Amino acid sequence: MPKLTVNVDGGARGNPGPAAIGVVVRDADGTVVESVGEAIGRATNNVAEYRALLRGIELAAAHGASELELVGDSELVVRQVEGRYKVKNAAMKELHAEAKAALAGFEKWSIRHVKRAENADADRLVNEALDA
């Protein structure tokens, strides 16, 4: 599978609080190949966003993608992965390094920021996992 688009979202109720991730993997035609919504225990919002990103990268690799487009509604995480924002928090530095290392396995990758409304599927999976 050459190119996959992966929408990712993470959220916490309370910061930190009960947290969950949502990931939607789509092929070049926009068909959903896999979707995951799962609770990840107690975390901050930003840690949940990174955990969703990592899970999305992992799923894309498992589906054999050589090219990956990541889409997320966390401006902070997207800009940090792009290298436009510095990563100051120690826990975030570790997750950021993990994400960058995982992305190195792809021939080509990109990441873009969208408004929450444009990330509705991943957002819904987060809320369903938190409500479960």
Q: What is the CATH number of the domain that holds 77?
A: 3.30.420.10
The pLDDT of residue 1 is: 67
What is the count of structural domains for the chain?
1
For residue 49, the surrounding DSSP H or E stretch is helix 45-62
- In the 8-state DSSP scheme, what is residue 10? E
- Tell me: the pLDDT tens digits for 30-74? 999 999 999 999 999 999 999 999 999 999 999 999 999 999 999
- Tell me: the pLDDT tens digits for 80-108? 999 999 999 998 999 999 999 999 999 99
**Does residue 22 sit in helix, strand or coil?**
strand
| Residue 26: domain span | 3-131
Q: Is the pTM of this model over 0.95?
A: yes
- Tell me: the pLDDT tens digits for 1-41? 699 999 999 999 999 999 999 999 999 999 999 999 999 99
The pLDDT of residue 102 is: 98
Looking at residue 35, its amino acid is: S
